[in-house]
Amino acid sequence: MTFRVQVRVIPRPGLLDPQGQAVEHALGSLGFAGVGSVRVGKAIELSIDAASADEARAAARAMCDRLLANPVTEDYAIEVEA
Amino acid sequence: MTFRVQVRVIPRPGLLDPQGQAVEHALGSLGFAGVGSVRVGKAIELSIDAASADEARAAARAMCDRLLANPVTEDYAIEVEA
């Protein structure tokens, strides 16, 4: 069975995020008020062949640990869709 | 009230995504089988002050249309958390 998996990789809290700061500043310049704590990271979508959703999630976690995310500087979140 | 908003910006289907292809190839080289259709885009997290979740979502949509996404080449998805 093929599962569609959404991965979100975001800079860890406390770490500098210059891209997030730039976006926050740009949003303010465009007139958007009340915006804060902007963080910018990577969104990765992929299809994984697996026997179950749990297996697909485990595979995605292994991919994050080995390639998609930097464990020192980034957190990741995984969502598995049918 | 402050809402935490997750935005995902992904290259439109059919458009070339060299970064996605590179990741797909790298995952294959690392021994991950059964992986396909990899797309890489941006994940943006931000806090928005708004009266309701609907208002926060509308603000996020306006931000996507004006700054965060390129409507010609990218699709976006918005999730609002309390």
Beta-carbon separation of A42 and B37 below 8 A: no
Distance from CA of B71 to the nearest CA of A (A): 17
Is residue B6 within 8 Å of B81, Cβ to Cβ?
yes
DSSP symbols for A10-21: EEPTTS--HHHH
Q: Predicted ipTM?
A: 0.92
Q: Is-above-0.90 flag for pTM?
A: yes
pLDDT score, position B49: 97
Residues of chain B neighbouring A10 (CB-CB closer than 8 A): 43, 45
CA distance B2 to A76: 23
| Three-class DSSP category at A39 | strand
Our count of domains for chain B comes to 1
Range of the domain at A27: 2-81
Distance from CA of B47 to the nearest CA of A (A): 5
Alpha helices, DSSP H, located in B2-80: 18-29, 53-63
**CATH assignment at residue B16:** 3.30.1280.10
CA distance B2 to B13: 33
Q: Which residues of chain B are modeled with pLDDT < 70?
A: none
Share of chain A above pLDDT 70, in %: 100
pLDDT score, position B82: 76
- Rounded to a whole number, what is the distance in angstroms from the first to the last CA of chain B? 9
Q: What is the pLDDT of residues A35-68, one digit of tens each?
A: 999 999 999 999 999 999 999 999 999 999 999 9
The token duo for A47 is 């299809």
Asked if pLDDT for residue A82 goes beyond 80, the answer is no
